[in-house]
Amino acid sequence: MAKGILQEAKEKGKLKFKYVGLITAKNIIISVLPKYAQNWATEEEIQLEHTKLIIASLQQYAKNYLLQLEGEEFLHEDHDLYNEAATASWLLDDFITHGLWDEQRETLVYNGDGEINWERTIELTDPIFHKGQPYYVDTITHYKERLEDSIIQQLHQWAVSYCADKYADLLGIGVMVEEKYHVEKERLGEDDYLLNIIDRELHSVFQDRSIQLLKRIKLLISHQSEQSEDLLSLFGTKKFDSIWESACKAAFKDQHILQDKIEKPVWHDTHGNDIKEARKHQPDILHEGNDFLLVLDAKYYALKRGSTSEGKETLTGQPGIADVTKQIVYQKYFEQEYNDKKILNCFLFPNLASEAEEMEYIGWVDLPILIFKEDKILNITLCPKKLFKFYLGTSSHDYISGIVSSYEELCKKVQVPLK
């Protein structure tokens, strides 16, 4: 499948998606939800509701990181794979803002109410002279006639109705499409004929909005005319961990500038001379309060909690030693700069439950090595649905106060004072 979004799973005979978002093939839309939803998003109504939330979050991410998007995201029309959902989003937003294609034809008439065309008036009419001055009783004026139901206007109606019927609900775009807009494209002509009309119109318009609108209608028609069973349209990402991290950054008010305090590793030659500064690692989220510093790592992991037959808690799907070590090293950096503040070091995981509190403490991780024996990373789960609603600005919650206010309680559970 395109761009490796479908891979073989470890279990024989099964496949897994390395992708979150929409996949469109002809009139079929497949919604691939994040892995944390696999246990509870089993009913169609719940699936649709969470699909809308995820699509809105993808759009918010694309808006925030427009200049930083890489090839792993399929969120814009300029990607090398066609993105019908992004085209639909643009067309519907444009229709809400500007309305239907307004086509006018300009002609010249005698003695009209429009602007006088003096060149044609002087050329085609005879003036009356008074004291040597010419007076034009008859004038040639411009007349603009609005053309109703032109081919371009009907194609715009078809594009709007097609996009609204297929995508408006999923994209969360509230658009009212009148019944007359439901034009059958096939009745207007063959696709090649319609594309030629659009090309001719493109040569006669100069406004940027008109050009962009025509290009997108053309793109919609072109894609449909070449569709086959294996031609896919994607709106989503192979790196949903970036969206999870972005939402966590928003919730905990990341202060990116604090990363400048972390020194880069320096390589030396055999004489001790500096060779080069290596690229430094950067924590996902940093936030400085009055008496604390949050050092947070957003982890898009399906952390599964369970228990043995003896009642002992079990945990699977957690990060490896490299992630743990890196996070503790970050803490060591900031202990030098903030020795008068509490360092709250946490992993942030999605909660796998369908309904959960905004934030839940589920334990900690440490390295049983002498130099790190007192350094602990708290494991915090966040409710994805509530987090993404916060990300979109449709709900509010003080995540920072929530994690700081429970700090003393967490210290008691850990029993060893946290740094």
Q: How many domains does the chain contain in total?
A: 3
Look at residue 305 and give its three-state secondary structure: strand
pLDDT (0 to 100) of residue 373:
65
Maximum mean pLDDT: which of 105-114, 207-216, 350-359 = 207-216
Average pLDDT over the chain, rounded to whole?
83
Decide if pLDDT at 218 tops 90.
yes
9 assigned to some structural domain: no
Return the SS3 of 389.
helix
User: pLDDT value at position 142?
Assistant: 74
Whose CA is closest to 34, among 355, 315, 359, 302? 302
**What is the domain range of residue 377?**
240-414
Question: Angle CA(391)–CA(169)–CA(35) in degrees, nearest 5?
Answer: 50
Q: Which residues fall within 8 angstroms of residue 321, CB to CB, at 6 or more apart?
A: 367
Tell me if 6 is assigned to some domain: no
* Whether residue 185 is found in the same domain as residue 217: yes
**CA–CA distances in Å: residue 358 to residues 38, 259, 288, 354, 398:** 19, 27, 21, 12, 10
Give the angle 244-246-252 at the CA atoms, nearest 5°. Answer: 100
Closest CA to 384 of 235, 245, 237, 238: 245
Classify residue 10: in a domain, yes or no.
no
Per-residue pLDDT at 412 exceeds 70 = no
Per-residue pLDDT at 342 exceeds 80: yes
> 96 and 204: one domain?
yes
Q: How many CB atoms lie within 10 A of CB 356?
A: 16
In this structure, what token pair is assigned to residue 369? 């090595």
Residue 5 lies in a domain: no
According to DSSP, the residues that pair with 365 across neighbouring strands are 377
Together in a domain, 337 and 246: yes
Average pLDDT (385-393) is 94
Summarised one tens digit per residue, pLDDT across range 73-132 is 676 665 556 788 889 999 999 999 998 888 666 666 777 777 888 887 788 888 888 878
Residue 265 contacts residue 280 (beta carbons within 8 Å) = yes
Residue 1 lies in a domain: no
Confidence label for 243 from pLDDT (cuts 50, 70 and 90): very high
Nearest to 289 by CA among 400, 209, 193: 400
Considering the domain architecture, whether residues 195 and 250 belong to the same structural domain is answered as: no
139 and 244 both lie in a single domain? no
Examine the fold and report which residue of 237, 272, 289 is the final residue of a domain before the chain moves on.
237
Answer yes or no: is 372 within a domain: yes
218 in the same domain as 196: yes
To 5 degrees, how large is the angle CA 128–CA 131–CA 133? 55
The pLDDT, as a whole number, for residue 336 is 82
Asked if pLDDT for residue 216 goes beyond 90, the answer is yes
Say yes or no: 91 and 128 in one domain: no
Strand 103-110 relative to strand 128-130: parallel, antiparallel, unpaired?
Answer: unpaired
Q: Domain check: are 127 and 42 in the same one?
A: no
Percent of the chain with pLDDT over 90: 28
**So what's the pLDDT on residue 63?**
84
Q: Is residue 171 part of a domain?
A: yes
Q: Nearest 5°: CA angle at 315, between 314 and 320?
A: 140
Residue 111 and residue 128 in one domain: yes
- Kindly state whether residues 259 and 271 are assigned to the same domain: yes
CA-to-CA distance for 248 and 48, rounded, in angstroms? 23
For residue range 1-24, list pLDDT tens digits in order: 556 787 777 777 778 888 999 988
Q: What is the pLDDT of residues 145-158, one digit of tens each?
A: 655 668 898 999 99
| Same structural domain, 402 and 284 | yes
Would you list the DSSP string of 39-104?
A: TT--SHHHHHHHHHHHHHHHHHHHHHTTTT--TTEE-STTSSS--HHHHHHHHHHHHHHH-S--EE
pLDDT the model gives residue 370: 55
- pLDDT at residue 159, as a whole number: 94
**Could you tell me if residue 3 is inside a domain?**
no
Q: Contact, 282 vs 251, CB < 8 A? A: no
Assess contact for 157 and 183: CB atoms under 8 A: yes
Burial class of 143 by CB neighbour count within 10 A (0 to 12, 13 to 18, 19+): middle
Do 216 and 75 fall within a single domain?
yes
